[in-house]
Every structure is written in structure tokens, then in C-alpha cells.
Structure 1
Amino acid sequence: MPAASHPLVIFDFDGTIADSTAAICQLFNESLVATGFEAVPETEIRQRIGLSLAKIGKELTGLGPEHEGHRALVENYRERCIAGGLAHVRYFDGMQPLLTRFRQAGATLGIATGKGLRGLLENLDANYGRDDFAALACSDQVERGKPAPDLVDRVLKETGFAAHEAVLVGDTTHDVLMGQAAGVETIAVSYGAHDAATLAKSKPDKLLHSVRELGEALLPWQP
């Protein structure tokens, strides 16, 4: 088995590992309507996936966290998630074999996500994937969410790697900007929440379009 191109590979989760973008948009709109707001176009939610729940709520409603309506929306969304609203989410085709190949090649894997830890663990367990990752960094474990570097910095600290030894893989500009702020190489994938044109504006080191291309880029000597 060839060596991975980087000792540490840090993934975003939703839209990068898991095919969850459509489900998140639907769940968010259900919460908006349930708490007295109007549903919004899916594109309005897609462009904000990866940010903290509080920030998404503020941008979609125009209300700050101190407002009752904002608190109701955030709580409703959390309750829907806890009740299993995203329990059916599965990995993209080919992702689980790719994660296995990374580990066989000696790479350490981590996750840096805007999800809360409870929700991430539920999704990982539903896909039998918790043991694949050496470090999990979630929005409720850091002071600042994306695009600040805190999530990546937490993974680096927990795994003991330096920034130059790591690469971040994500499907949004928020991921790319986070990786850049942390000083790691960045790979954007266009099969998730943000399209290729949007991702290109954030100037990732690589812009890829499929799980297969991701494997070819990070396991470059794989036959």
C-alpha cells in the first residue's frame, strides 16, 4: 500500500464525508416554519452549511442570539436532530473504502465540523465510522467556529502534528478559509454544499470534483 501524501488528513463532515446537504436544508426549513419564520430557498441554507448553528440562525432570521425567535429556531433544530432528523444520513459512495485506504496507508484522520459532538457521534455510529478518526473537533468544543482556525488547531493539538503535515478537505468556502487561517493545505470538493465556481473564489490549493479524485490526489501512487 502506498503512503498517503500527508500524515494527517482533516475532513469536514457534512457534504464532504456524508451526503447530508439536502437533509440539512429540509430540516432547517422545517424548523424555520415551526418557529414562525418563512421557509427560505435551499441555496440560502447551502451557502451557510458549516457555520455554527447560532450564526446560521442569525443570518437567516436577522435576529441575534439574545432574541427569543432566534433561540426558538436553534432549539427546534437541535430537537429535530436529536429526534433523528439526520439519522438516515449516509456517507457518499466510495467514501468508506477511501477512509480505509487512508488508514492502511498510514495516515491519521481527523474531523473539523460545525456540527455538535453529539450529532457527529450519532452520524458516525450510524455509518460504523467512529473508529476511523483519531480526533474530532466540533463547534461546541471551541470558542470560534468556521472560518476561524480553532477547529483545525484542536485537531492538530490532539494528534500532535504540525500544520505543514496536514491537509484539510471540505466542501465549502468556510472550510477553505478555516484551513488557510490554520496554515494547512486545503482541498475543496465540489460534490457537497458549494459549487466549483463558489469554491474557486476562496483559492483552495486543489479543487476536486469527486471522491475518486480525492483518493487520486491524496494517494497519488495508488494504481
Structure 2
Amino acid sequence: MTLEKLSQARLVIFDWDGTLFDSTGVIAYSLQRSCEALGFATPTLKQAKHVIGLDFKEVIAYLVGDLDAQQTAEFMRVYRSHYLTSESIVTLYDGVIEVLKDLRGHNRLAAIATGKSRVGLDRVLEQGHLRTYFQATRTADQTSPKPHPLMLQELLDELDIHPHEAVMVGDTTYDVEMAHAAGVSSIAVCYGAHDERQLQAAQPSAIAHSVSDLAVLLGVMIKA
């Protein structure tokens, strides 16, 4: 999809954490503290950010190795405790609401494809009164996690959109890889979990350095 066509995409599919929601720091911190609390080596900030967007079991495997079911459940409990303590201070990136309003005002569709759990996504959408901006959502625990393309394929089917009419927006290489596998164009934002060098290597259709850049690529208007 050309840059001109990105701005005309009928459906914009957003990742959540690190793309719309300024939460990567809190997620990484919570992962570090969880490893520390459970006696595992504390990952570096770069290591913790690297796994953002993956299914949580893959996150655990990458950071501490294979755990049994009881250990996995305990890790998830400790992580949620740390994360929920800080989630209330996390907000949408500046300009995101304006992007969503402009898409809705021009009868363009918006959806979410996230590595969050269904419970976690529903909680934050309800708290922020954001559900009305999205016509469909998929979470990692209700379908195949990123970078498998099933999440995108299900959204396209639900909304009756051809892959060439959609664009995926995300802050990790997993988002870009998922888009490639689904035949969907992608915009990588480099203000989230993965840096520009990592994202460029995944070969997205375009890169946005800020929400303002993203707005231009999507052909929407926000205040300067």
C-alpha cells in the first residue's frame, strides 16, 4: 500500500500498549519487579520491553525459562499486582483521542489487536469510556497471539474488509510481522516498546516517530 493509500484505508487496526496507551514503562517495570520478587534474575529494561506484545506465556519463557502451571499462575498474579498498582496513572498518548475521533467522523473503521488479555482490555476501555471508538477488538487469550496472523484475519472477516483496505498500526516487530503474514499494510510507531532500528528491520510500510506523524500517515487531522 502506498503512503497515499495508507491515508485512505477503510480499517485502521491498532495495537494497544505502546501504540495508543503510554504503558510500556509500567509494563517493563512490572515485569522486572515480578522477576525480582520471585527470585529470578532481573531483566534489563531493554529485555523487558522486547517481549511487550507477546502472549504472556511467551513473555515468561523468554524472561525466566519454562515454568510449570503453578509457577506460571504465581508469576501472572505477582505481575498483575504490580501492574494494576500503576495502571491508573497511565494515559493515552497525546493526540490519540483526536485521531480516533477523526476516523469515526469520516466513517472509517477502527479496531484493536492486542497482546493484552480480554479482561485487561475491557477494563481499560471501560475506565476510559473508549469502547465506542472501536468496531471490533481481539486479544491474545481469545485467538492466536502475535505474530500469528489469525487475530487480524478474524477482524477483517468480522468487519468484511479486504486485507488491501486495512492497515495495522503497532510499536513492535510482532505487529509488523503479523501484518505481513495477513497481507495487511503496516505503520510502525517508534515511540513505544521497540526502537526504530528494530522496526525498520521488520520492513513496515511506513514509520511514525510521533502521534502527529501517525495522524499524517492516516490522513487525519489533529491539533498541532
TM-score (norm 1): 0.91
> What is the SS of the residue equivalent to 1:36?
coil
Distance 1:102 1:216 in 2: 12
Task: Say whether the 8 Å CA contact 1:187–1:206 is kept in structure 2.
Answer: yes
- In structure 2, runs of 5+ residues without a counterpart are 1-5
8 Å Cα contact 2:103-2:220 kept in structure 1: no
Give the whole-Å Cα distance in 1 for the aligned partners of 2:85 and 2:80: 10
Q: Would the alpha carbon gap of residues 213 and 61 (structure 1) be closer, same or farther in structure 2, given more than 3 Å must change?
A: same
- Matched with 2:125 is 124
Deviation at 1:69, TM superposition (A): 3.3
What are the Cα deviations for residues 91-126 of structure 1, in whole angstroms up to 9, with x where unaligned?
000111111011111110000000001111212223
What residue is the counterpart of 1:40 in the other structure? 43
Q: Which amino acid aligns with 1:183?
A: G
Which of 7, 10, 14 in structure 1 is aligned with 2:10?
Answer: 7
Unaligned stretches of 5+ residues in structure 1: none
Alignment size in residue pairs = 218
Q: Cα deviations across residues 55-91 of structure 1 (Å, max 9, x unaligned)?
A: 0001100124x3643342123223444x454233210
Q: 1:91: which partner in 2?
A: 92
Q: TM-score by structure 2 length?
A: 0.90
Q: Percent identity?
A: 35
Q: RMSD of aligned C-alpha atoms?
A: 2.0
- Residue matched to 1:78: 80
Residue in structure 2 matched with residue 101 of structure 1 by the alignment: 102
AA partner of residue 140 (structure 1): D
Q: Which residue of 2 aligns with 1:17?
A: 20
Matches within 5 A, 1:172-183: 172-183=172-183
- Matched to 2:141, the amino acid is D
The match for 2:3 is none
d(CA) in 2 for partners of 1:118 and 1:71? 16
